[in-house]
Amino acid sequence: MPEILSWAKSACEKRNIKANVKAALLPRKCFLICRLPCLSAPREIAILIRDSLVPLEDESCYQRLFEWKAHTYFITSYLPRYTIRSIGENRMPTREDGWKLLCEYTASESLRKHMLAVEACVRAYARKAGADEETWGLAALLHDFDYERWPNPEHSPDSGHPSEGAKILREQGYPEEVIRAILSHADYCHFPRLTPLEHTLFACDELAGFLTACAYVRPSKSILDLEVDSVKRRMKDKLFAKGVSREDVRKGAEELGVPLEEHIGFCIAAMREQADALGLRGTL
């Protein structure tokens, strides 16, 4: 408790907040209530320190303790990371936040590059559609971040990938738009795809993996000289990259409402822009 109080006081001082800091222990949590002087009415800052991660549903019951105050904030610790968010107004995590989270849960270099490849394609579609590139990019970057730890071969709709990842993302304040897109990219989660982001993430996921495989078997081992016709020929070879669902690749293009050839060409172009980061420059 003393070290928590010390941290809370230090946090307030860094933000030039003059407050009386008190602590209250609750089941599995510790709230530090900082009462602030105010001209009109007292305000409170609730500093929540977690000693373990718990589902969002559990957190909401504690939030309600403070909802009657007009100015209530939570400084939440996901040790050792700290985020500041207010009720009903979450801070949008950045791409840097997303990358750190991805690396925390994913050690495989190939899986990291797969998520980067999907991100490149989805971001390109976001720019084309005039959508929020950062939001779309986060959904793509994190769509498989939990796969290595919870692979879910049984295709359970409420445990394993991507459900476990969704829980973590909710705990860390990621927007529901991102979380729902990630859940909807796995058909077995039974989240029908409704938004352009959801359709785009699904459409780019399998195809990005297939394009990577196509690039690796070229003499150049590069995405830079990969052409649409070559990809289409590879799709007909059932033994090549047999883990990639051709049906999902075709279905993705259909959901976007574009010809398959156009979708393939668009994603090749997007991945070419990130060839170095994806390790797909090869010898060119």
Q: pLDDT 10s per residue in the chain (284 long)?
A: 455 556 556 655 665 555 555 554 444 444 444 444 433 333 333 443 333 223 333 333 333 333 323 233 333 332 223 333 333 334 678 999 999 999 999 999 999 999 999 999 999 999 999 999 999 999 999 999 999 999 999 999 989 999 999 999 988 888 889 999 999 999 999 999 999 999 999 999 999 999 999 999 999 999 999 999 999 999 999 999 999 999 999 999 999 999 999 999 999 999 999 999 999 999 99
State the DSSP string of 179-237: HHHHHHTSGGG-----SHHHHHHHHHHHHHHHHHHHHHTSTT--STT--HHHHHHHHH-
Q: What is the pLDDT of residue 87?
A: 31
Q: What is the pLDDT of residue 195?
A: 94
| Distance from C-alpha of 243 to C-alpha of 213, rounded to nearest angstrom | 11
> Considering just the CA atoms, what is the radius of gyration of the chain in Å?
22
Q: What is the pLDDT of residue 173?
A: 84
Torsion sign (Cα): 144, 146, 150, 155: negative
Beta bridge partners of 31: 24, 48
Crossing angle of helices 246-256 and 196-216, rounded to 10°: 140
Single pTM value for the model: 0.70
Q: What is the pLDDT of residue 16?
A: 58
Q: How far is the CA of 55 from the CAs of 33, 50, 153, in angstroms?
A: 22, 12, 23
Q: What is the pLDDT of residue 92?
A: 75
Q: What is the pLDDT of residue 46?
A: 41
Do residues 188 and 107 make contact, with C-beta atoms less than 8 angstroms apart? no
| Distance from C-alpha of 64 to C-alpha of 41, rounded to nearest angstrom | 19
| Distance from C-alpha of 260 to C-alpha of 250, rounded to nearest angstrom | 6
